[in-house]
Amino acid sequence: MEWFLSSILLSNEIIIFLFVQIVLFILLSLSFYFSLSIIKNWDFNKTTTKQYKLEKTSYLVILIITFTLIVKIAIFPYFAYSLDNLSNIVPGAMCAAGIVGANEFGQINLTLKILILFFIGIWLIINSLDLKAKTYPYTKKKYLLYIFIFSLTILELILDFNFLNNISTKEPVMCCSVIFGVNNIGSKIPFNLTIPMLLILFYLLYFLTLFLSIQKLAILNLFTNFLFLYIGYYAVTYFFSTYIYQLPTHQCPFCMLQKEYYFIGYVIWGTLFLGIFFGISSYILKIFTNNELIFTYKYSLIFNTLFVAICTFYVVKYYLVNGVLL
């Protein structure tokens, strides 16, 4: 492990990424400071001068928070793009898979960023509902959620520096063919599932999410979408990716983010995330607001369907062109 300043931190993409992260963190820190006062003193039923000032302050703070959180959403795919570009200077890496696995911070950092995206989405929806209501009923709740998100961003920034600063440009890393190689595939897929069993489970869970979304069964939809996320990741990595790359030995969730594959990975993983997000948030938002938010079921259905349709398209296309399956 390298404890000095890594040359990785001097690459153009990483400089831009870290600069934006630091600026956003400063804005989030300012918002955190004012959020504490708002949580402590907010009472919409009061008509005092103090409450009036709090409302004006809250309006400005919400604008800052909304802007910074939206930028954090936008910077995530740029982060993935930057990691993929680093594969050009890190020996052994063919895509972002080798970079993420370059040290012990990579996988944790990536997982945390996805988790933060999820809570940002929840916050943006609650904030929108709060601003539309006349009495701002969710103000304290959304600020408490923001403080939780802010605490995660502190950990994220620490992990960003530790992860990027400890990527060596001298020691080789494992490429995706080693990490996700065809040898012992069964041991890498959960429950020792075979590919046919994995696909059956994949499509069964998809249709179950559709049914639960139509029936608006929030708690069951929550658990089913978690399972669909889990199985969907393995289905894409070990089956559908081979049709995207048109090579049975190439199994990787990261290479599809590259230009050679028209950046389709961003669409595939993006639709999966959005479908799962709305499916899970239907229950979480119901707890937060005590209301059934119908649009969450609709968007979950739409994005999960898009995800499955895109994955299936590559298999059908390959079969129609070549007359065989891989």
Q: Which of 232, 313, 275 is nearest to 118 (CA)?
A: 275
pTM above 0.85, yes or no: yes
pLDDT tens for residues 41-88?
A: 998 888 888 888 999 999 999 999 999 999 999 999 999 999 999 999
- Measured in degrees and rounded to the nearest 5, phi and psi for residue 87 equal -65, -15
pLDDT tens for residues 12-35?
A: 999 999 999 999 999 999 999 999
Q: Of 105, 137, 165, which residue constitutes the final position of a domain?
A: 165
173 within domain boundaries: no
Cα–Cα distance, 191 to 189 (Å, whole number) = 7
Q: Of 133, 165, 197, which residue constitutes the final position of a domain?
A: 165
Q: What's the Cα-to-Cα distance from 143 to each of 29, 66, 203, 282, rounded to whole Å?
A: 13, 12, 39, 20
pLDDT tens for residues 128-167?
A: 999 999 889 999 999 999 999 999 999 999 999 999 999 9
Let me know whether 158 and 186 are in one domain: no
Token pair, residue 255, equals 């290479």
- The predicted model gives 197-208 an average pLDDT of 97
- pLDDT > 90: what percent of the chain? 83
Domain count, the chain: 2
Cα–Cα distance, 267 to 244 (Å, whole number) = 13
Q: Are 182 and 249 in contact (CB under 8 A)?
A: yes
Cα–Cα distance, 234 to 240 (Å, whole number) = 9
- 25-41 in b/e burial notation, b at 16+ Cβ within 10 A? bebbeebbebbeebbee
Q: What's the Cα-to-Cα distance from 176 to each of 14, 100, 263, 269, rounded to whole Å?
A: 22, 10, 17, 17
Cα–Cα distance, 79 to 21 (Å, whole number) = 10
- Structural domain boundaries, residue 81: 7-165
Let me know whether 62 and 206 are in one domain: no
172 within domain boundaries: no
pLDDT tens for residues 118-134?
A: 999 999 999 999 999 98
Q: Which of 46, 64, 48, 222 is nearest to 143 (CA)?
A: 64
- The predicted model gives 317-322 an average pLDDT of 96
